[in-house]
Amino acid sequence: MATISFWGGVGTVTGSKYLVQTSRARVLVDCGMFQGLKELRERNWQDPPFNPRELNAILITHAHIDHSGFLPRLVNHGFHGPIFCSRGTADLLKILLPDAGRLQEEDADYRNRHKLTKHSPALPLYTEKDALATLELVEPVSNMGEQFQAAPGVLASFRIAGHILGSSLVLLELERAGKDGNNRRVLFSGDLGHYDQPIIRDPVAPPRADYLLVESTYGDRLHDPEEPKVALARIINDARKREAPVLIPAFAVGRTQEIVYLIRELEDEGTIPVLPVSVDSPMAALATVAYANRKEEQDEEYASVLAKQQHPLRTHSMITASSRQESKKLNDAKGARIIISASGMMTGGRVLHHALRMVSDPEATIVFVGYQAAGTLGRRILDGEPRVKILGQWLPVTCRVTKIGGFSAHADWKEVLRWLEGMEGAPVRTFLTHGELQASTAMAEHIKERFGWNVSVPQYGETVDLE
């Protein structure tokens, strides 16, 4: 017998956690933190719906916090088995998890100082120390596509999913789990990449599976048809004419590397002049090294740039500010220049110091290249609020504000169908995960219409037999 239980990443894009149980083993695929709405975030504080001590192993599709950020909490609650993931994911977990631990500690500290808590004292969800203990359990899998024993009676393999560095499809093969005594294969898409995105390879075709979990973030939407590169060139050329600065708030892992790659490409093609580009985020600098090191995940274009002895992730005039002093020096520079800094939604980090200088400068441009959640400073500026509070100061927003909609690390619904077309045979059942209810339902309809498969949208806490 075998079952799967959906403990996150259903009806929402956050908190991904799928528990697979057989008579011999329990494994968890993804261990994400819930983010966004309060009722979702509160789930992070509830006792886990399974005993972490009884899990044989955890497998992680990729390093984004909504897929990995709950690991330190489970380790703190007694999980001590192996955490399997690709090598790229292991590299990024080393950067992201300790940072998540520090943020949790800072958050608890803030709530205590401002008496925003019913609990005294407020405790962090987990600490940096928990995150470091988690990293000790990580076992990177070096051969993509090759099966290994993840737990008794559970074979697993990873394949490139093309979403961010290290992102993988996870295939589990459950030995003799079917009623007929045959093996059962369960495939998890994780987050599926957007085809032809820079730097990393496209998702590989899905292997044959009896059960399929497929993401549906963009189940009801298609990407903006304007190439982000074209929009970026227009904005940079415009800033050049006005001798004015451009600030790009960007997530340190993935988006920052993508922007730098595109700017370098535009410079190579002569579409934009070479301007000073500063990447002001210590985390981004570390992530760039990880992206450059993992050759097995780079696409052909990346390899061909590298063959010309150029660094694909460095523009022709680039400074990476790693110390606070260097970061301050950037602030005093003049003329047309591009600053890329985290956090992407301007909720903290060095981007705030740059925003403080630029938000009231009518010549400066702030360019949003990612989703801005409700309530964040990024969203307020994008929504056109006339005044915003940055680092304790109220400032009028008089700079230019623009958005490039075409950046996405996710496949849209047509791309999901394109990916599924590569699958050999129909799965017995397909589950739509990782989407708002509306998006998952729409994606289910698209799949039913195109392939006639048995599809469903599972609910939080639902358990399904895999027999």
64 counts as binding Zn ion under rule CB under 5 A:
yes
**Alpha-carbon distance 4 to 12, whole Å?**
18
42-50, 183-191, 226-234, 260-268 -> range binding Zn ion (CB under 5 A): 183-191
In the complex, the smallest distance separating the C-beta of residue 223 from Zn ion, rounded to whole angstroms, is: 16
In the complex, the smallest distance separating the C-beta of residue 397 from Zn ion, rounded to whole angstroms, is: 30
**CA dihedral of residues 180, 181, 183, 186 (deg, nearest 10):** 50
Q: Which two tokens stand for residue 362?
A: 């009518």
Nearer to Zn ion by Cβ, of 191 and 210: the residue is 191
Nearer to Zn ion by Cβ, of 22 and 158: the residue is 158
Nearer to Zn ion by Cβ, of 67 and 185: the residue is 67
Q: Which two tokens stand for residue 66?
A: 């909504």
In the complex, the smallest distance separating the C-beta of residue 191 from Zn ion, rounded to whole angstroms, is: 4
CA 421 to chain centre: 25
Nearer to Zn ion by Cβ, of 17 and 64: the residue is 64
64-72, 267-275, 319-327, 389-397 -> range binding Zn ion (CB under 5 A): 64-72
21-29, 62-70, 294-302, 333-341 -> range binding Zn ion (CB under 5 A): 62-70
Task: Read off φ and ψ for residue 343, nearest 5 degrees.
Answer: -85, 160
In the complex, the smallest distance separating the C-beta of residue 130 from Zn ion, rounded to whole angstroms, is: 22
191-199, 221-229, 325-333, 414-422 -> range binding Zn ion (CB under 5 A): 191-199
Nearer to Zn ion by Cβ, of 91 and 191: the residue is 191
In the complex, the smallest distance separating the C-beta of residue 255 from Zn ion, rounded to whole angstroms, is: 11
In Å, what is the CA distance from 355 to each residue of 128, 275, 365? 28, 19, 10
In the complex, the smallest distance separating the C-beta of residue 374 from Zn ion, rounded to whole angstroms, is: 20
**Alpha-carbon distance 356 to 354, whole Å?**
5
Per CB under 5 A, the list member of 99, 191, 220, 258 interacting with Zn ion is: 191
Peptide bond just before 49 cis, omega within 30 deg:
no
Cβ atoms 327, 321 nearer than 8 A: yes
Instruction: Of 442, 458, 460, give the one whose Cα is nearest residue 450.
Output: 442
In the complex, the smallest distance separating the C-beta of residue 429 from Zn ion, rounded to whole angstroms, is: 24
60-68, 173-181, 220-228, 308-316 -> range binding Zn ion (CB under 5 A): 60-68
30 counts as binding Zn ion under rule CB under 5 A:
no
Nearer to Zn ion by Cβ, of 16 and 315: the residue is 16
**Alpha-carbon distance 75 to 52, whole Å?**
8
How many residues bind Zn ion, per CB under 5 A?
A: 2
In Å, what is the CA distance from 379 to each residue of 34, 100, 284, 367, 410? 20, 22, 22, 12, 21
**CA dihedral of residues 270, 271, 273, 274 (deg, nearest 10):** -70
In the complex, the smallest distance separating the C-beta of residue 202 from Zn ion, rounded to whole angstroms, is: 16
DSSP state letter for 3: E
In the complex, the smallest distance separating the C-beta of residue 189 from Zn ion, rounded to whole angstroms, is: 11
63-71, 218-226, 283-291, 353-361 -> range binding Zn ion (CB under 5 A): 63-71
Nearer to Zn ion by Cβ, of 64 and 73: the residue is 64
For residue 335, with 0-12 CB atoms within 10 Å meaning exposed, 13-18 middle and 19 or more buried, which class applies? Answer: exposed
In the complex, the smallest distance separating the C-beta of residue 355 from Zn ion, rounded to whole angstroms, is: 26
Instruction: Of 407, 340, 349, 358, give the one whose Cα is nearest residue 376.
Output: 349
Largest CA distance in the chain: 72
83-91, 187-195, 297-305, 360-368 -> range binding Zn ion (CB under 5 A): 187-195
Residues in region 417-446 near Zn ion by CB under 5 A = none
Nearer to Zn ion by Cβ, of 194 and 446: the residue is 194
Contact positions vs Zn ion (CB under 5 A) = 64, 191
